[in-house]
Amino acid sequence: MAARTILYTGKGGVGKTSVAAATAVQSAAAGQRTLILSTDPAHSLSDSFQTQLEGDPTPVRTLLDAAEIDAQHELTRHWAGVQAWFGEMLAQRGLDRISAQELTVPPGMDELFCLLRLKDHHESGDWDVIIIDCAPTGETLRLLSFPDAARWWLEKVVPFQKMILSYAAPLARGVLDIPLPTGAVLDDLQRLSQNLLSMDAILRDTSSSTIRLVMAPDRMVIGEAMRTFTYLNLYGYLTDAVIVNKIFPGDVGPYFERWRGLQSEQLELVHSAFAPVPVLEAPYFDQEVIGEDMLERLGDHLFTSTGIDPSAILHETIIQSIESDETGAKLRLTIPFTEKQQIGLRQVGLELVVTAGRQRRVIMLPPTLAAYKPVSATYEDGVLEVSFHSGE
């Protein structure tokens, strides 16, 4: 049975790591073999547990292990061959070695390599529950979009790469003063792409994997969470809960009374905007949430007091479905919090390109729709519906 996998993400400073750690503590207390991983470059999981964590899982309590993934180590595992080739090419063009090495790692790739550790731990079978403390939302969205690019690279480039190199290498050596990538470098890229697709398959398996958004009851934070929710739906990931953290209690006194009133207004927005996704609430505690006692307090507020199983799938929504008959088909895609004029559609073969704002998603249509063409589209109540008819 696949390990239950939960990714936590949210804007920096909302308490994402504390909520993820509290969930892990609750899961282990319920008898589940639990692992929590931090892939956030600004690791703070060690601070939450007040224990020095390494890249490999470290026991922090009964049935609970934790790890802060070492980005440099993962970079060496997955990118060393490409880095060596690219660094040599840049050095030959006159760039100093240190700068060349820095430029060989595209932004966000080190975080992506950290997330790939999920695949290893998932396949080990050692855990019932794996919880991931991800990078802030912007970085997380960028990471989750990488597999689409990897899929395109494997399908479009790999079949021709070595053939092209075998013909181009002799000519390039005589004309160009740069080293061409070797077959080993391309093999590394192919292996990385395949690992990305394997990781993506784990995260898109809605029977075991979900994403949870953590936010504070502030308008700007909630706005970012709403946009993130839109893009997660666009990429096909299931959000099964949102957590509103740092809510002022009712007796905050006159100084914070207005803040409390504003938070109440924002909580109404959260409940209405994310419905029917469950909204879990946690108070602004009277001390910092670090250490086992405080993590238990936070977990009690989120789960125990509300009777919620921390590792359960709290909401199931099919965001994409296709219905077909002899005359045509309909594709339904949930894309909330988007204006109709922001949505764009374009079909290339069996690829349906959907854009929502600045985000882009390629949906691979089933081969049964090869003879069908999109003829109309509607967008109502957060659902995009595309109608296909036979081209005959």
Give the span between the Cα atoms of 300 and 33, in whole angstroms.
19
Give the span between the Cα atoms of 333 and 385, in whole angstroms.
6
| Tens digit of each residue's pLDDT (9 = 90 or more) over 131-155 | 999 878 766 776 676 666 656 555 6
**Helix ranges (DSSP H) in the chain:** 16-29, 45-49, 71-92, 97-103, 109-124, 137-156, 158-175, 183-203, 219-235, 257-274, 292-302
| Tens digit of each residue's pLDDT (9 = 90 or more) over 60-111 | 999 999 999 877 676 666 666 666 666 665 566 656 555 555 555 555 566 6
Ranges of residues in the chain whose predicted pLDDT is under 50: 160, 163-165, 167-169, 171-176
What is the per-residue pLDDT for 15? 94
SS3 71: helix
Output b/e per residue, 223-234; b: 16+ Cβ within 10 A.
ebbbbbbbbbbb
CA 286 to chain centre: 32
| Predicted model pTM | 0.78
Domains of the chain: 1-316 (3.40.50.300), 320-390 (2.60.40.790)
**Helix ranges (DSSP H) in 291-359:** 292-302
Find out whether 290 and 50 touch, Cβ atoms under 8 Å: yes
A 10 A CB-CB count for 141 gives 19
Find out whether 255 and 246 touch, Cβ atoms under 8 Å: no
